[in-house]
Structure 1
């Protein structure tokens, strides 16, 4: 699954450069169920725990977990499913109760592994129109004493009169209705307007725990089975699912002719990968034939047929699929790959096997209005989801505690797949900025968490969904990249291939991968010189949170490692069996020669790390290791002097590393802040993207801390001074910004829409804002809509920003999927930050109810709204907010709240200690620089 939010790196860079140069600032729905009757049976209207069709209730709201296995969130291991027959009919018109509904018939077949009288399967928000039936292998109904629904754990429980026998097969047959809500979860409804007509879609988002909202199922990743899917729909709609349709039948429903689309039986797969889409979409691509698989891009008819927005994704899908077949040494296991752009979607994309679903911004691309950053987004997300077709779908984690392995791996190889599609971009290097440094900001907190945890620590849907965070995606990608680097790509790929072959259509735990990689190491003739087995090395990175700062004293050769914490005064309460010591693969450059060293202890003396007077040492070449590097003062001075004398002698990635490490070490009080600022002095003569992006990201923290103080004026002047030569360079290179640069990482793109829109709104009033709002409303290109919506938050009028905040929770004005990012955009505006904070506090219960369970970006809302918090009063308000909302809770944002409190405390300390020095440094830098 791709991340649910995105800001173009190129757009962000230009936006920051543009604005700093000008010394200015850029700024569960409460669901009610009703029934559309399919027959005359009474409906089940569940309370805490209820029974169907008059059978007496077995429990109440006072039940305790000890009363039975139905009060545990994990399924018992007594039953194992092997097949489902699922037949669904979505009705995309309002029923008599003014609701959209779907009708379903499902039968799940399973084997009894342990004798039991209980059949427990997942079911959530389904209304059963007949009493669920337990059947034997011949289809004969078996006696059931009662049938319960347990709301807390989302179970359907059948109590068999006679125990089920070990080794025998059984099934549960159900008929049910569900609401086709717009909550972006399970089987849900999406809408769009085309040619003045509102059109509706029935689509799915089953991950992580919402297949149970579409049909009763054993909704855990290890419970793999095959599926026969049948969708009944109006004749002017098209139905898609994981497999190709095998036949279409005309059937009569309520005296009207509907189409019954029957799909081929799926391969063995997890419930969270089941998908179906019913729409009036068009497609571009080729159907399957005897020599090739079908690859098609689906979307709104106008976008696909008239504007050709699916062409780019289509052009890169086949080469990426071909590349991954070679990379994994495994043929793509399905006969087709459909990719669908949805107007409403909670995540960035979802890797449903054979039917990948996307936000429109992550799949559709219009070269007339979309930026190169939009194009990069499409390439990397498509590669990410295609990577999952093997790693995650073919071989699946046993339980969600190892979710990082799925998402971290895909987040790493998405760069390899995108590089195959766009080899001129040099995109593989960007993982350092996009993932390594991004996640280090989170992993440097005591409120971080290890990549993996014990299975029993992850149970509830909220606990599962909290794991879809930067640690799982970006730290996972970072450590897998490090692993591939020290093993070599050849050995890594060989071990990966045997891992996939051994566990295809099955489930694993993360250590299974280590076993296969170790076998590849043992079988290679290469001299890898690993200090310990792969499992021992990697467990230090997987089982404990955080990462080390490695300090090298080049005068003595002494090298040490220590757990790096943003707030050096904080106390780590999470114990570690490794005592926060890592087995660190170190690469270094000395006298233009490269070397490697394994640091296995907290302290060591390495003669090779000693240097002479005229030398400098650089460690962690190309930032392949997941750690920061500190040096003695002498070596820091030499590195900075080298940057100013001839920066090209230091690799581009390491120029970014020197800046990013220095600023973060300064925030943690490992080096002084003056040292960090000194690393930016040379930038006026560096035209490369990565060092500038590292500097801008680091200085963005200064902007957040000081854009309301006297520091901001001198800071803006200094940045204008540094940026001017870069501006002139790209002005000349692009013919006064009329020629598009070929490289992805050339900074300035001729499409300056984001900057123009934001500047116009910021310097305009109500009329300008209303004009852009109308343009936003009428836009049918998602990437363009995103630019306009973000620019609406650039206003300097508080009442206008408040109006936009109110709009964010009105789904008739702003799509539910965009609510959080709209609030975040307002909070990024220095004028809107306090407004956003007040809004979030006042509306928190509503925000949790409407967005907490349906929007993957929800967990980020407290991070963004508190970015500028740096005073004792800010901290007091934040802690009061935590206290006031303990009852309603924080859902998947709970960990984000703890991180916000920790960061606020660190910000207070840092500002108090550094404000005066920073002010004086910028004043002196303006005077002293002659460029």
Structure 2
């Protein structure tokens, strides 16, 4: 269970964080980035950096415009130079300089070898001022007797963020050199690169430092403004006493500065430590954070089954962090809400997130760190694997939760709604499609994470977990501390298949490339009268045009598991062509003789049947729904609603699948229904349909929940639904509980599981005084789980002036931390009253929002999707199209694909509302009558 750790309440913290990572996309501080062209082959020399101060002390760029063919005009580095070691010295200052900025000073020394003769050195450099040395921005020395040619000129190439070093002669192949630089940068609070994070407790400010980093850097309680010396040597990981290869794309330096009134005061950072044994290896796992609380044990499935121990990293919760978490070797970083659990404030959802995120990041120690992909185009293999294993790891930590089943609802169904768009993309890109930092950020999307997890789950299922595990073991042992492409995994899984003599329709590569190299997924349709089975590329809007071609013509090799109402063993049928005839799918007449495909939803596809079989399935749900597996009861609901949106079936059939729910005790079918009815609410909560829909939906009733974990989720869903749909009894309960808390703010009577719903309802129906009280509690919250609940609930107000003020707060980091700005705007946009306000706010502040978050923030795409999720009219479509035109000069960065998806969804919504509004209104009027 959870272990606790404590930090003094008088502690104030300023933490300065250097993040050189996959999620940052730009490596910082003149550190060289090894970009391996092939496994164990040549690499390139690079460096990327944080933010600037005043105007750079640099030479101007050459007067002539560089031709596009010049290396410094290409985003990816040449392969001529290979880094061997780096030494970086940093000196951060926590008092403003004369220009009013926080700055850091630093210098770096990079030793590299020349793989191919060249007269050019390119270094990624972002917003650094270099101290000139003999008129140049860097200096170059020979190593082991080598003699470098003189530097001809140096300049900064702003479009590609390069420091370009042009030599008067060539570096010699096989020789080593050392590049030296001195620089100054801004220690900004922009959550990128080397940045400043402030934490003040009770107005007390204290000094001190803690530094944890890779490669022999572990200093405690340094004096203020002391130098921080970092030595990173590939093949050197001192904190574990091991020699391993450090991939430079994942590196983390953290400096804790505990600011005190007297410099002699000791540092008082308290650490949670626990011992974990993986195979024959026992490691100490250390947890750091600025706030009290606990953490939840989560051993990843890989640690238990892959028999390749890796050193366990320290875990650190950060007050300000752009991503949810990052899997750095040696020091995994988290937002505090993804690491810390406090039973007095955290809900079951908070606990589940902590368990799964820890499992996700620890899984990355194998997939991502031990074995690293060659380039970002195959990112899905890292993130998809970790997203799959997080459920297996969480299940091993909390077996009573049965959390493995959640992957279908939380990952597969979520991503299918995106992957069913014509603007979707394959899991694997071509390498030349992913070049810029914004393009790299875009790859960190639901396709990489959730589709990747779903496809790997499907693969594990049809191989069996044992064969899957053997293939992974072989893959990791072969490529440990090296780089791979996705084909390498297929080779090792194929070897495991061959050794086990498992019969498949073709090779692993032949099956899986259908799922990784083409976007989307099929809908499999069975006619139980004649036994025919077909597949077709499933698109939410069947009239949309898919511009991305596929060598497989959007035909998949589909593992179809099935069962009948007559019982019998489960069977797998491989659908390899567009259509086929399988006599086993012919079902005799009779209400109980139904056919059900994709048992436990292990396959990544949707299922459609002939009308007679749909009728039989609905009859079974109404008479004895337990005869159908619980995950497939959720599947029937989710598939029918999406099939109806794509015009495969009538909308009435989809709505009819919800009628049996008054008898349903399980969480997953209810969750599927609520998620799909949420789309109806978005389309109709501004129209005359909403009243009957509200009455008709709630007339279904709510069954008494069951289970160990799901009962709490059902309770949360019941209260949330009742309050959000305006059930008076729920509003009365919420108001009473909230008023009790207002009367005695030190004693909150609301249980953590229900706080999100109760807070939102009380603020929605409450006064300005209620909003102000919640705002005060948010500002005073010392546990991030509580602060997050309040911050989201504050967006539930029905007062437009309050929501407008709250939108302005989102851009004020003294009120809303920068890491929370986007999600705060999204919360306001989810409110039907706040949606148009948020849209106006985003349009009016786009340049500011883009400059703050558009380049490398992974939540930035959610901003566009959240604010446009209700768009369903021609007027809103024209506004969105005009928004695209008006901001073309600013750009859309990591939200570019999200904008295209928003346009496509809006067009599909317009059609769907026009075609289904009358039928939906009629159905709900009948149900409510």
TM-score range, shorter chain: 0.7 to 0.9
Q: Does 1:181 align with 2:188?
A: yes
Describe the superposition over 1:810-848 as per-residue Cα deviations: whole angstroms up to 9, x where unpaired: 111111111111111111111111111111111111111
Aligned to 2:422: 446
Describe the superposition over 1:79-137 as per-residue Cα deviations: whole angstroms up to 9, x where unpaired: 11122222222223322322222222212222211111112222211222243122222
Please give the residue correspondences for 1:204-353 in structure 2 after superposition, counting only pairs within 5 Å: 236-242=208-214, 245=217, 265-266=236-237, 267-279=244-256, 280=258, 281-285=269-273, 292-300=282-290, 303-304=291-292, 309-310=293-294, 312-313=295-296, 316-317=297-298, 320=299, 323-332=301-310, 334=311, 336-353=312-329
Q: CA–CA distance in 2 between the matches of 1:44 and 1:827?
A: 40
State the shift of 1:895 in Å: 0.7
Q: Does 1:154 align with 2:161?
A: yes
Aligned to 1:551: 525
Asked if structure 2 preserves the Cα contact closer than 8 Å seen for 1:425 and 1:745, the reply is no
Asked if structure 1 preserves the Cα contact closer than 8 Å seen for 2:250 and 2:329, the reply is yes
Q: Does 1:849 align with 2:834?
A: no
Q: CA–CA distance in 2 between the matches of 1:271 and 1:514?
A: 26
Aligned to 1:137: 143
Q: Secondary structure in 1 aligned to 2:249?
A: helix
Aligned to 2:779: 777
Describe the superposition over 1:554-608 as per-residue Cα deviations: whole angstroms up to 9, x where unpaired: 1111101000000111111111100010010110112222110000000000111
What is the aligned counterpart of 2:653 among 651, 675, 680? 675
Aligned to 1:640: 618
Please give the residue correspondences for 1:191-206 in structure 2 after superposition, counting only pairs within 5 Å: 191-197=198-204
Aligned to 1:211: none
Aligned to 2:674: 696
Describe the superposition over 1:475-532 as per-residue Cα deviations: whole angstroms up to 9, x where unpaired: 111111111111111111111111111111111111111111111111114xx32101
Aligned to 1:231: none
Aligned to 2:558: 584
Q: CA–CA distance in 2 between the matches of 1:646 and 1:177?
A: 71
Asked if structure 1 preserves the Cα contact closer than 8 Å seen for 2:641 and 2:676, the reply is yes
Aligned to 1:64: 67
Q: Secondary structure in 1 aligned to 2:387?
A: helix
What is the aligned counterpart of 2:588 among 579, 588, 612? 612
Q: CA–CA distance in 2 between the matches of 1:139 and 1:796?
A: 74
State the shift of 1:651 in Å: 0.5
Asked if structure 1 preserves the Cα contact closer than 8 Å seen for 2:377 and 2:429, the reply is yes
Q: Secondary structure in 2 aligned to 1:149?
A: strand
Q: CA–CA distance in 1 between the matches of 2:145 and 2:778?
A: 56
Asked if structure 2 preserves the Cα contact closer than 8 Å seen for 1:689 and 1:747, the reply is no
Gaps of 5+ in 2: 1-20, 25-49, 238-243, 259-268, 718-750
State the shift of 1:667 in Å: 0.4
State the shift of 1:171 in Å: 2.1
Q: CA–CA distance in 2 between the matches of 1:543 and 1:259?
A: 45
State the shift of 1:282 in Å: 3.2
Describe the superposition over 1:839-870 as per-residue Cα deviations: whole angstroms up to 9, x where unpaired: 11111111111221353211111111111111
Describe the superposition over 1:456-479 as per-residue Cα deviations: whole angstroms up to 9, x where unpaired: 111111111111111111111111
Q: CA–CA distance in 1 between the matches of 2:249 and 2:709?
A: 42
Gaps of 5+ in 1: 5-30, 36-42, 52-56, 200-233, 735-739
State the shift of 1:245 in Å: 4.4
Describe the superposition over 1:654-707 as per-residue Cα deviations: whole angstroms up to 9, x where unpaired: 000000000000001111100000000000110111000000000000000111
Q: How large is the RMSD of aligned CA atoms in angstroms? A: 2.5
What is the aligned counterpart of 1:380 among 339, 344, 356? 356
Q: Which has the higher contact order (CA 8 A, sep 6+)?
A: 1
Aligned to 1:412: 388
Q: CA–CA distance in 1 between the matches of 2:589 and 2:782?
A: 62
State the shift of 1:198 in Å: 5.3
Q: CA–CA distance in 1 between the matches of 2:81 and 2:790?
A: 52
> 1:772–1:247: structure 2 CA closer, same or farther, 3 Å change rule?
closer
Q: Secondary structure in 2 aligned to 1:915?
A: helix
Asked if structure 2 preserves the Cα contact closer than 8 Å seen for 1:327 and 1:493, the reply is yes
Aligned to 1:101: 103
Q: Secondary structure in 1 aligned to 2:635?
A: helix
> 1:797–1:248: structure 2 CA closer, same or farther, 3 Å change rule?
closer
Q: CA–CA distance in 2 between the matches of 1:103 and 1:149?
A: 19
State the shift of 1:286 in Å: 5.0
Q: Which piece of structure 1 moves more, 627-636 or 115-124?
A: 115-124
Q: CA–CA distance in 1 between the matches of 2:507 and 2:438?
A: 35
Asked if structure 2 preserves the Cα contact closer than 8 Å seen for 1:567 and 1:668, the reply is yes
State the shift of 1:150 in Å: 1.4
Asked if structure 2 preserves the Cα contact closer than 8 Å seen for 1:249 and 1:260, the reply is no
Q: Which piece of structure 1 moves more, 635-644 or 78-87?
A: 78-87
Aligned to 1:753: 755
What is the TM-score with the length of structure 2 in the denominator? 0.85
What is the TM-score with the length of structure 1 in the denominator? 0.85
Q: Which piece of structure 1 moves more, 667-676 or 73-82?
A: 73-82
Q: CA–CA distance in 1 between the matches of 2:889 and 2:282?
A: 56
Q: CA–CA distance in 2 between the matches of 1:273 and 1:92?
A: 26
Aligned to 2:446: 470
Aligned to 2:920: 918
Aligned to 1:532: 506
What is the aligned counterpart of 2:178 among 154, 160, 171? 171
State the shift of 1:328 in Å: 2.0
Asked if structure 1 preserves the Cα contact closer than 8 Å seen for 2:89 and 2:228, the reply is no
Aligned to 1:494: 470
Q: CA–CA distance in 1 between the matches of 2:154 and 2:81?
A: 17
Describe the superposition over 1:745-771 as per-residue Cα deviations: whole angstroms up to 9, x where unpaired: 554495311111111111112111111
Asked if structure 2 preserves the Cα contact closer than 8 Å seen for 1:92 and 1:100, the reply is yes
Aligned to 2:537: 563
Q: Secondary structure in 1 aligned to 2:282?
A: coil
State the shift of 1:784 in Å: 0.6
Asked if structure 1 preserves the Cα contact closer than 8 Å seen for 2:400 and 2:709, the reply is no
Aligned to 1:400: 376
Q: Which piece of structure 1 moves more, 121-130 or 827-836?
A: 121-130
Q: CA–CA distance in 2 between the matches of 1:791 and 1:248?
A: 40
Aligned to 1:518: 494
Aligned pairs, how many?
821
Q: Secondary structure in 2 aligned to 1:483?
A: helix
Q: CA–CA distance in 1 between the matches of 2:509 and 2:818?
A: 43
